[in-house]
Structures are given as C-alpha cells and as structure tokens.
Structure 1
Amino acid sequence: GTPHRTTSPARPRVRTPPPEGSRQRLRLRRPRVKTRTTPRAARTRSRPAPASSQSTTIGPMFASRACPADASATRLAVARRTRGAARRASGVTRVARRAGASDAASSAASPTARTSAETSEPMSVSDLSAPALPSHGARTASSAFEVGVAIPAVESNVAAARAALAARGYGDSELFAVVKAAAAGLAVAFAYAKAKKDLDTPGRPWMDDTTVGREYDAWTEERILEYYWGEHIHLGYYNDDVMARGAGTLLGCKVKDFVEAKLDFVEEMAIWAGCAEKTPRTVLDVGCGIGGASRHLARGFGEGTSVTGITLSPKQVARAEQLAEQQGVRNAEFRVMNALAMDFPDNSFDLVWACESGEHMPDKKKYVEEMVRVLKPGGTLVIATWCQRDDRDEPFSARELTNLNYLYKEWAHPYFISIDAYAELVGGTGKMGGIDTDDWTRQTIASWRHSVWAGVWDPLPVFSKPKVWYKTVRDIVCLERMHRAFDVGLMQYGMIKAVKTAR
C-alpha cells in the first residue's frame, strides 16, 4: 500500500497529503542502518533446503516434539516472525495454529507430523516462563525465579475458595465480589495508613525569624482563622458555670459563644494583671495578631490610653489597621516589629501585655528581657502563654517527647518552657518584683474542641475554599492533640505577672 518513492538530490521530497478520512501513522525518524545489498529473493534462493530426513528442534516449548523437515522450516519461519512475543500466550497460540496448518498440508507424507498436531496441548504458564532456547538454561528453572512453579499453589487456593463457596451455594460471581471487596478493603487500609502517617508528621516547623511572619501572613489571607476565631487569635475563658452546662462540647457549642469567650479572656487577664485598680496610659501588646486584644483594651481603657500592637506579619498589621478604622478605634496603632529587638526606648510603657506570643519566640530569655526593658518603673508585665510541664523533677518519657515534638513543629513553635521557668526568667532580670504565676488550663481547655465544633456547625466557609481543606484538616488534628496534651498535664496554660521595681 505504500507508493514507490524516488529520491533525487535536485528535487526535495514532497509529501502527498492522505485522502480525507484515511488513517495516518506517526513516523519517527530513525538512523539509517546499513543493509545487505543482496536481494531478498536471491538470499532466499541461496538457502540450502533441509534434507527430508532431518528433524529440527524449535525451542524448549517444543523440545519433546520431533518434526519433519518441511514442517520444521515452516515453524522456524513462524518463530522468527513472532520472536518478540514467543513467551506470551497469544503468540504461542498463533505459532501452534500456523504450525498445525503446515502439518495438515504434509500429513499424507508424514504420519509423524499428523501425530504431533493431533496430540498438541495448550501452553501452560510454566512453558511461558521457560527459557526461549535450550542454550539459555535448563528446562526446569529455579523455584525462586520461575513463575510457573508458584502457579499450582495459587491455582489450588483458587480451587479451594471456589469449592468452599460452591458448598454454600455460591458461584464465580460471588467469588469475584469477595475479591473486589478484599481489594477495596486493602485500598482503604492503605489510604488510611498513608493519611495517618502524613497527619502524624508535623509539617510547619519553625525555621528562622521569618517563619512565624510567613505563617501568619498566610492565615490572615485565608480568613478562615478570623472567621471562626474572630479578631482574637488566642484561647477563650470558660468559668465553672458554663463548663457545667457543657460549654465547648458538640451539643453544648451554643452554651458559650466561641468568640465571646475570647473577649472574656482579655477582660479576665486585665483584671488579673491589676488593671481594674490602676488604668495604664501606655500599653504595648507584644504579638498582637490582627489587633483584637489591642482594640478591646483601647476601648476599655478609654481615649486617655494609647495602645501599640506589634507583630512580625505585615498582613496582620494591615488587617489590624483596617479593622481599627472600621470600628472607629483611634487610640490604637500597629507596627511590624521583632519582639526580640524592639525599636522603643527604655521605660516606655505602663503595661506590657503578651498574650500567646511567647510560644513562637526562639529565645525566651531575650523575649522577657526586652519586655522588661521597655516597661516603666512601677509598670506591670503580664504574660499568658502555653507551657510544657516542668521536667526537672520528672523527665519526659519517650512518648511525651514525641508528642511535644509534634506540637513544636506543626504550628511553628521553636520550643516551650514551663511556668516556673518563665518566672525564673522574669526574676533573673533583677528589676522585677511581686512575681506571681497561675495555671489557667481549667479555664481555657474547652477552647481547643470548641473551635472544632464551631466549624462542624458552620462548615460552609471551609467547603467554599477547597485550597484550604487539607490545611484545615491538619489544624483540626493539631487542635485535638493540643487538647489531649493539656488534658493529661503535658501542657499547661501559664499566667505570669510582675511589677518593675528598678530602672
């Protein structure tokens, strides 16, 4: 079907477009290979014809079958044409069928060929796994390699399964259904194991001084955290009354509003710091987020108090300023600043407020020293932070260390320290007195699961943003693991306060 081509160095080759509707084949350029110059017909004629009395062995599959010369030549030609597929069942079938036709043509002259064709049997998997030529190896392959050796055991298992199902009145269709169910079960088990391993591996470790800013930039852009947690990216406060009525649980999710609990926390923290007795005129909010606590304090203390919030996230500062303008809060300002190297002069603020920012600090000592430096004499430092239990009396177990490592590296925490360690750092400055600490785990632990149930009752924002599904799932896992760590005492909610007594 291919038209004859003539090549001429003076004329370029022209492709004639195929007629419409005809099938086209993709032709790949291949390097020219030198071929014999002897015509095919001459080569064919030059081959010596085998003697009529010769018998030829074609391969190990036919090793036990001696064929007459004419049938052997036919089979050998077929074997050459199908050499690439000699071990496939379909190729073997075609060879046997064509060889059988040749045997039929020569059956009158050769009773041996007729006998061979009549007694031919279908190839087994053992035959397909055997060497292609006798020179390739022994007829019987190693049991560790030859596929056919393992087949009888598989076939016997299948036969046993069929017999067991047949005894109960089931056929092959039921066997196929069982196999499908088993395969589906294995697939589900594999997917579960992979997902569990992935979720148990922390994915957002603290890397350097820019890690926290980048993470909070991303959370601020997504708006998922703000939607559920409100303007306050910290835990809420739950008193004994609402806890007794099931606040923070799935069915008691509405007993206490999740965002309102955060406002209550700000007010309780201010009261615990002594702000009810003495109103500060200058306030520094270290790690202000999108400014929820800063604006709430600015409104609560009144126009006579100026509040400054600092964060590493530029997007948080932009959002905080936008919300302050929308809410008409004029006595709050926000800056991008590193809490470990603040630009403020010494003795600048009456109150230094640090709510859940110490967790992200890679140098807790420097963190405390900088806050004490910018605090005025007589001013108050108040810190609320997640702490790990003190391990000096009882070292952490291997399991506890594994859990802590996850909590460190999933939400960009360099490490945690204990409540007593914070108190020692504050006292170590030599400028603070009246140091007091408390553990607010009981008042705050409901927040972890409350945030999850809030999403269960209102899932639309998550489903409307497919790009944050996976991250939200990871956050839910981390929230639950945080709840468990606080519940068993591995983590504690530390409250530390002190008054500056010296310059």
Structure 2
Amino acid sequence: MAGCGASTSTTGSGRPGARRLRRLSRLQPSEACVDIGCGYGGTARRLAATREVGVIGVTLSAEQARHAATHPAPGVEIRVRDWLESGLPGGSADAAWAIESSEHMVDKPAFFAEAHRVLAPGGRFVVCAWLAETGASGWKVRHLLEPICREGRLPSMGTREEYAAMARDAGFEIVGYEDVSQRVARTWTICARRLARALVVDREIRRIGLAARNRIFALSFPRLIVAYRIGPMRYGIFTLVKVDPAQQG
C-alpha cells in the first residue's frame, strides 16, 4: 500500500450521490443501516428520508457529531466512535456504507472484519475509496501518491486488488466494482475553481481556507487532479455481500 502519516479526518470530496448509493445497497424500508465515517450526516439523513431506513452514523469527530445534532432527522443517530471498536451488536445491520473513510483506517483488514461482524448474513456493504494504481511507478509514488497521503493525512491507500483481498478474507463476496476516476477528476477540477473564486471574494472563507491545516490540504488539489487524470490514483466503488453460511455449498 502507498502510505504515510496517520489521520482521523475525512475529506469528503468527489463523493457518489445518495441515489447511486441507494441503488448499490438495495435499501428497503425499515432496514437497519450503518454509515461508517458519516461526516456531518448528510448522506445518512438523505437515505433515511428517501428510503425510510434507520441509520447509525459513526464518526471520530465530536465537532461533526455536534453539527449533526443541530440538524436532527427521524431515524438517524450519530455516534462519536472509533469504527474498529464500534460497540454495535453482531449481525445487527442490514446494510452499511463507507464513503472515503477506509483510507483513514490504519488497520484496513480490521475495518472490513468489523463490518462483517456487524452485518447480518446477506447484508450489503458499499465501500467508496481512494485507491492507488496497481504497480504505480516510483516517480508517481514519490511525487503524487505519497504527498497526497501526507497532505490528506491518510495512513495509506490500497490498490483495488488489496481491497478485494481484504474484503474476501473478512468473509465478503464481491458482487460489483465501478471505477469512477474520470468523473471524480472533473469534480476536483470544479472544486478547485470554486475554492479559488471564493478565496478572492469572501473574507471569511479566506480566513478559514488559509488556516494552516486547510492550506496544506488545498495544496493537494492540483496533485489530486493530475493523479486521477493520468492514472496513479483511482476512485473505486465496491459492492460487497456478507455470505449467508446457510447458502454456502
């Protein structure tokens, strides 16, 4: 895995829409769901409202949880927890998703193992992840992947093959995979333009955006766009199912 320094934050750009996530996870009314690395709870609220499901969101950020509490929604509960020690009962969820949060997990096999434990047999798990190109050459690692990890505070980025192996080892069946890298590259280009425009016209955004922590990540915008466009970085969406032992031969 390409990697460097550890982190507990999430960036949240280029995220797939709730409609795509709803389709991939095949959500049904009254199902119990888990949003792993839920951020401010936007996806959880949308899916709870449109599919009438119950969602427990897990985040490490007390600030995100406080913000979510100011925007309560029926069927949504946001908890401040480390996913690797979620405390959720085994077999208690029908579906789960992780949108750009697995990259921030130091122990990625444990990330998959905990999802497998929490899901009921037949439960669906959608993982949307920043991935490293398989066999990326040395200069791509040194000048693109490692700086992006460092500036984005990611412990590592795995490849598609590494994620697939970890999912299977945890007991999941891979039923789908999508590479949406080019679409995400366009999103990052739009984000960069909007940020540049906002920094010019909005003093408050200038103050927040130029804070040391945010400034470091903003430097990665051009790098991210290049990495997605020329290939060393991929955006993959895995659709997984916890195999029901009763249906195994």
**TM more than 0.5:** yes
C-alpha RMSD of matched pairs (Å):
2.2
1:450 matched residue in structure 2: 190
Deviations 1:359-401 (A, max 9, x none): 101011111111111001111011001000112xxx5223433
Partner AA of 2:22 in structure 1:
A
C-alpha spacing 1:462/1:296, structure 2 compared with 1 (3 Å): farther
Contact 1:437 1:497 in 2 (8 A): yes
Contact 1:351 1:375 in 2 (8 A): yes
Deviations 1:37-74 (A, max 9, x none): xxxxxxxxxxxxxxxxxxxxxxxxxxxxxxxxxxxxxx
Contact 1:346 1:374 in 2 (8 A): yes
Partner AA of 1:444 in structure 2:
V
Partner AA of 2:239 in structure 1:
K
Identical aligned residues as a percent = 23
Deviations 1:221-260 (A, max 9, x none): xxxx9xxxxxxx33145xxxxxxxxxxxxxxxxxxxxxxx
The correspondence of residues 465-484 of structure 1 with structure 2, limited to 5 A, is: 465-466=206-207, 468-471=209-212, 472-484=214-226
Q: Does 1:268 align with 2:27?
A: no
TM superposition score normalised by structure 1: 0.45
Deviations 1:413-451 (A, max 9, x none): 00100112111111112x323532221112222111211
SS at structure 1 position matched to 2:13: coil
Deviations 1:158-200 (A, max 9, x none): xxxxxxxxxxxxxxxxxxxxxxxxxxxxxxxxxxxxxxxxxxx
Q: Does 1:435 align with 2:175?
A: yes
Partner AA of 1:469 in structure 2:
L
Larger relative contact order, structure 1 or 2 (CA cutoff 8 Å, min sep 6): 2
Of Structure 1 and Structure 2, the greater strand share is in 2
SS at structure 2 position matched to 1:362: coil
SS at structure 1 position matched to 2:39: coil
1:206 matched residue in structure 2: 5
Runs of 5+ in structure 1 lacking a partner? Answer: 1-204, 217-224, 226-232, 238-264
d(CA) in 2 for partners of 1:422 and 1:335?
26
SS at structure 2 position matched to 1:206: coil
Q: CA deviation at 1:463?
A: 4.9
d(CA) in 2 for partners of 1:346 and 1:306?
17
The correspondence of residues 237-386 of structure 1 with structure 2, limited to 5 A, is: 265-275=17-27, 278-279=28-29, 281-302=31-52, 305-324=53-72, 329-386=73-130
SS at structure 1 position matched to 2:165: helix
Larger-gyration structure (1/2): 1
Contact 2:13 2:188 in 1 (8 A): no
d(CA) in 2 for partners of 1:464 and 1:306?
35
SS at structure 2 position matched to 1:351: strand
Match of 1:416 among 157, 178, 181: 157
SS at structure 1 position matched to 2:78: strand
Contact 1:280 1:350 in 2 (8 A): no
SS at structure 2 position matched to 1:445: helix
d(CA) in 2 for partners of 1:234 and 1:473?
16
1:406 matched residue in structure 2: 147
C-alpha spacing 1:289/1:335, structure 2 compared with 1 (3 Å): same
d(CA) in 2 for partners of 1:382 and 1:236?
13
d(CA) in 1 for partners of 2:51 and 2:224?
33
Q: CA deviation at 1:477?
A: 2.1
The correspondence of residues 7-406 of structure 1 with structure 2, limited to 5 A, is: 206-207=5-6, 211-212=7-8, 233-236=12-15, 265-275=17-27, 278-279=28-29, 281-302=31-52, 305-324=53-72, 329-391=73-135, 396-406=137-147
Aligned length: 240
Q: CA deviation at 1:270?
A: 1.9
Contact 1:389 1:492 in 2 (8 A): yes
Runs of 5+ in structure 2 lacking a partner? Answer: none
TM superposition score normalised by structure 2: 0.87
d(CA) in 2 for partners of 1:490 and 1:466?
33
SS at structure 2 position matched to 1:340: helix
d(CA) in 2 for partners of 1:446 and 1:462?
27
SS at structure 1 position matched to 2:216: helix
Q: CA deviation at 1:272?
A: 2.6
C-alpha spacing 1:496/1:388, structure 2 compared with 1 (3 Å): same
